[in-house]
Amino acid sequence: MPRNDPRQYDELAGEWWRPGGGFELLHWLAAARAALVPPATAPGAILLDAGCGGGLLAPHLVGKGYRHVGVDLRRSGLKQAAARGVLAVGGDVTALPLATATVDVVAAGEILEHVTDLPGTVAELSRVLKPGGLLVLDTVNDSALSRFITVTAGEWLGVAPVGLHDPALFVDPRRLTGEFARHGVRLEIRGARPTAIGLFRWLALRQAPNGRPLGRIVPTRSTAVLYQGRGRKEEITA
């Protein structure tokens, strides 16, 4: 398959929830992303999980009061997300099957570096978000260091499945903040990285005997490889 082919997620479907498996790092990212989401302030608040995959965000949202809606292209992931309480919907992030201004929180985790139409995706995420609504995201920077770590070294070490990323789609944070600003979303960026000891444990063990994550994602000054974003859509004023 060519790089970044969504069909690869069907072949890797057994990795979504395998402790210490190929998607271990995605569990750490999901926990860090959920930590940016406050409890819902109104009954029936909707959180859109754009590119939800197997629903890794679900356990970290328990008790926060959201109706968790997940949109993804691949049925293999959606089935697993639905089994964990996500309202799973087949769809493309460039044409979301949701009405305008109906979502309280948009979570876009590890999806922006996979889309071939970044402006269209940003427009859709912004469209469905309510005025005053919250956006949280994480993605991979378009830098030489990120290409080396994520693709060259990452695939060789087994941190990233071979062929899952196309470095040509990695996302410059300045470009991303500019795209969201066009749609009234002011995005604040901060760097993120996995804990060194957690990464070492994963590479050494390749399993998590107790089922718990082997590491976590922590903030860092550098956005050169991985970064998080948090922002709100502008309120409509009379």
- Compute the distance between CA of residue 79 and CA of residue 14 in angstroms, rounded to an integer: 12
112: closest CA among 40, 171, 70, 187?
171
CATH code: domain 8-232 is 3.40.50.150
Residue 210 clears pLDDT 90, i.e. is over it: no
* Tens digits of residue pLDDT in 1-17: 899 999 999 999 999 99
pTM here?
Answer: 0.95
What is the pLDDT of the chain when averaged over all its residues? 95
What pLDDT band is residue 238 in, cutting at 50, 70 and 90?
A: low
* Tens digits of residue pLDDT in 69-96: 999 999 999 999 999 999 999 999 999 9
Residue 158 clears pLDDT 70, i.e. is over it: yes
What pLDDT band is residue 213 in, cutting at 50, 70 and 90?
A: confident
Per-residue tokens: 139: 């993605």
pLDDT at 235: 87
HEC profile of the chain: CCCCCCCHHHHCHHHCCCCCCCCHHHHHHHHHHHCCCCCCCCCCCEEEEECCCCCCCHHHHCCCCCEEEEEECCHHHHHHHHCCCCEEEECECCECCCCCCCEEEEEEECCHHHCCCHHHHHHHHHHHEEEEEEEEEEEECCCHHHHHHHHHHHHHHCCCCCCCCCHHHCCCHHHHHHHHHCCCEEEEEEEEEECHHHHHHHHHHCCCCCCCCCCCEEEECCCCCEEEEEEEECCCCC
Residue extents of the structural domains in the chain? 8-232
* Tens digits of residue pLDDT in 167-193: 999 999 999 999 999 999 999 999 999
